[in-house]
Amino acid sequence: MKRSSRSSLGRDEMKTTTDAGGDVRLSGISKTYGSFTAVHPLDLTVPQGSFFALLGASGCGKTTTLRMIAGLEEPTSGTVHLGDQDVTALPPYKRPVNTVFQSYALFPHLDIFENVAFGLRRRGIKSVKKQVGDMLDLVQLGEQARKKPHQLSGGQQQRVAVARALINHPRVLLLDEPLGALDLKLRRQMQLELKRIQTEVGITFVHVTHDQEEAMTMADTVAVMNAGRVEQLGSPADLYENPRSTFVANFLGTSNLIEAEVDSRSGEDVVLRAGGGKLVLPEARCAAPTTTGGKVLVGIRPEKISLTHADDAGGIPEGRNRITGTIAATSFIGVSTQYVVDSAVCPEFEVYVQNVDRDTRLAPGAEVVLHWSPAHTFGFDAEQAIDAGLDEEAAL
Ligand SMILES: Nc1ncnc2c1ncn2[C@@H]1O[C@H](COP(=O)(O)OP(=O)(O)OP(=O)(O)O)[C@@H](O)[C@H]1O
Ligand SMILES: [Mg+2]
């Protein structure tokens, strides 16, 4: 999507309304409905000017959390601060917050210009032309100002909804699955577009989604929610590379998880026994106690693994974790080939190999060695369910 003209409504101008802290602070906030707890007491700080995503499966409490920030839901306990201001007791319309929902709820009888001008007119502001024009430029709809909502595409309507919210100069913009109604291609486009708008205006965005790719593409910080709790919080790369629970390992991308037993320690590393072989895991990457004889779950991402035909195993460098197995299935998807390997350690090991030089011997039935750097391995407490987060991912 190309920008037709640059908006004069840039970061500095918008900043005047966000200087006083601007961040969202939730302290011990919770919500119960009768005996059901939708959100367990939660502490969360959203840094000012950041793009923050609440990511989780259906029913995990994302919307409830967002509605408590907006003031649309009264918390059972805890407080909400916006910057220095405790807004817990304030009604929604007194909070410097705007919300964009999945259904854009544009006014069908008003044109795009008037939809965007709505918030200004309601506040009795007469000369709206420049502000609305700037805002329409920001969302690249300057040409569409006189159309009615039904004459726009889904993505365009979505941008009108964003413009209509931003024109009120909120301190925080809350977005609840705003791209949910769009098809995949438009959705991907709008993710980049929303990210650009957020970078340009510098307002704090709190974005709710159940799509892990969407959260990772857009957000600076992602809070992964599971059953009313924040399971882990971090940058997309941090969550992906260093998951601290099987839920995060499975929900965000794909992980191979192996049951292992602590054998010994070697310097900074833990040596583990799994399926008759040994694996090495840096102790710092293990979110579990590493007492000798104790059980841990070991994880490795499919793209970190190399696949070598058993005949060439002699060439594998020393110091790599290795597992032998048999290729059970392959699927060529252009950019890579995805292999499922059957081994004593794990029945369905997934391996993604980038399509550079394809080894035609790597076909179903071939004996192979999987190997990877111990530094890419992560470890968890074996008390957790090995398949946590898997059903949720399948539901995407
Ligand atoms: N008014 C209500 N009364 C009773 N239970 C509710 C109410 N609102 C929400 N819940 C329950 O609280 C839980 C969290 O709901 P919430 O809408 O926050 O989920 P969500 O993470 O936004 O899910 P989705 O991705 O499906 O939108 C759900 O189990 C839901 O059924
Ligand atoms: Mg929801």
Residue 304 maps to which CATH number? 2.40.50.100
Last residue of a domain, one of 185, 215, 241: 241
Q: Is 60 in the pocket of ligand 1 (CB under 6 A)?
A: yes
pLDDT digits (tens, 9 = 90+) for 29-83: 999 999 999 999 999 999 999 999 999 999 999 999 999 999 999 999 999 999 9
How much distance in Å is there from the Cα of 18 to the middle of ligand 2?
27
Contact indicator for 249, 299 with CB cutoff of 8 Å: yes
Contact indicator for 272, 260 with CB cutoff of 8 Å: yes
- Averaged over 259-275, what is the pLDDT? 93
Q: Is 243 in the pocket of ligand 1 (CB under 6 A)?
A: no
Q: Is 31 in the pocket of ligand 1 (CB under 6 A)?
A: no
174 burial class (0-12, 13-18, 19+ CB within 10 angstroms)?
Answer: buried
How much distance in Å is there from the Cα of 63 to the middle of ligand 1?
7
**Ligand 1 atom 1: the closest Cα is on which residue?**
33
Q: Are 364 and 228 in the same domain?
A: no
Q: Is 38 in the pocket of ligand 1 (CB under 6 A)?
A: yes
Q: How many domains does the chain have?
A: 2
Q: Are 42 and 181 in the same domain?
A: yes
Q: Are 155 and 237 in the same domain?
A: yes
- Model-level pTM? 0.87
Q: Is 164 left (phi over 0), alpha (psi -120 to 50) or beta?
A: alpha
Q: Are 282 and 218 in the same domain?
A: no
Domain encompassing residue 194: 11-241
Residue 301 has what pLDDT? 97
Closest C-alpha among 316, 98, 282, 108 to residue 204 = 98
Ligand found nearest the CA of 38: 1
Q: Are 72 and 201 in the same domain?
A: yes
Q: Is residue 4 part of a domain?
A: no
pLDDT digits (tens, 9 = 90+) for 174-225: 999 988 878 888 889 889 999 999 999 999 999 999 999 999 999 999 999 9
Q: Are 232 and 86 in the same domain?
A: yes
pLDDT band at 392; cut points 50, 70, 90: low
* Residues 379, 290: Cα–Cα separation, whole Å: 10
CA atoms 340, 341, 345, 347: torsion sign: positive
pLDDT digits (tens, 9 = 90+) for 326-353: 999 999 999 999 999 999 888 899 999 9
Residue 215 has what pLDDT? 96
pLDDT digits (tens, 9 = 90+) for 360-371: 999 999 999 999
Residue 260 parent element (H or E): strand 256-266
How much distance in Å is there from the Cα of 38 to the middle of ligand 1?
6
Least confident span in 16-25, 47-56, 96-105: 16-25
Residue 18 has what pLDDT? 40
Residue 390 has what pLDDT? 84
Ligand found nearest the CA of 64: 1
Q: Is 64 in the pocket of ligand 1 (CB under 6 A)?
A: yes
Mutate to test the pocket of ligand 1, among 62, 101, 206, 214 (most ligand atoms within 8 A of CB): 62
Tracing tokens 């590393």 back to the chain, one arrives at: 269
